[in-house]
Amino acid sequence: MRTVQAEPWRAEDWIAAADEPAAADWERILSGFESTVGDPGALFWRHLIDAFPDAKVILSVRDPQQWYESASRTIFPALEGPPLPLRLLTWRRPSREDRLLDRLQRLTWELDFGNDFADRDRAVEVFTRRIADVRAHVPADRLLVYDVREGWEPLCAFLGVPVPDEPMPRENDRAAFQARQRSALMRVVGDRARKAAAIGVGAALTAWVVRRLRSAS
């Protein structure tokens, strides 16, 4: 999703693929890329393993309950959006690309969880069923079921590449995700605060938001 966020014009292709995946031109959508990680690509894994019969599949697994705890404190709140005062302070008229990206992010969540992620038992069931489906449908010689705690060795052996002479990187965990969200919000709040100060309005609202963000750090 990071590439789509950086290049939101790509969202249109993925939205169209969700409407009619069998008709999607996967070669064109993924032109220039050697792999896809996470959403939106993971939503279409059945179509992608058929479209790219030589591609290898890495199925990342973890404890389902720990996954839910992490997602419920990162991705799900990000989709819900910030508190109302912060939304008012940071609001701007969305561009066409903003609307496409927002639609894609919500669409991927809806296709996975049916707008019911707050139901923990159902969300965990969806998570575990996806893992079982991938294991059942991807040929064994193309599939690596991988827990990141296993380190480099099984991953590199599966891909046929040397093991790097450095520790396995750790990024995009809960703390890193939340720090990125706070940093992005602080940049927007700072910009709005400067504009508000320039015209003499919004000082109290700005101060409240800044206190909330700092207390969350």
CATH number at residue 38: 3.40.50.300
**Are 133 and 183 in a shared domain?**
no
Q: Regarding predicted confidence, which is higher, 202 or 108?
A: 108
Counting the structural domains of the chain, the total is: 2
Question: Is there a single domain that holds both residue 114 and residue 189?
Answer: no
Per DSSP, helices labelled H in 2-71 are 2-6, 11-19, 26-29, 45-51, 64-71
Higher-confidence residue of 86 and 27: namely 27
| Nearest partner of 118 among 62, 79, 172, 91, judged by Cα | 79
202: alpha, beta or left, given left = phi > 0 and alpha = psi -120 to 50? left
The model's pLDDT over 165-208, given as tens digits with 9 standing for 90+, comes to 998 887 766 666 556 555 655 665 566 556 555 555 455 555 66
Region 50-63: mean pLDDT is 95
Per-residue model confidence (pLDDT) at position 58: 97
- For residue 60, name the pLDDT band (cuts at 50, 70, 90): very high
Residue 34 has pLDDT above 70, yes or no: yes
Residue 154's pLDDT is 96
157/63 same-domain check:
yes
Distance of CA 30 to the CA centre of its chain: 17
Three-state secondary structure call for residue 34: coil
DSSP-derived 3-state class of residue 144: strand
Other Cβ atoms less than 10 A from the Cβ of 100: the count is 20
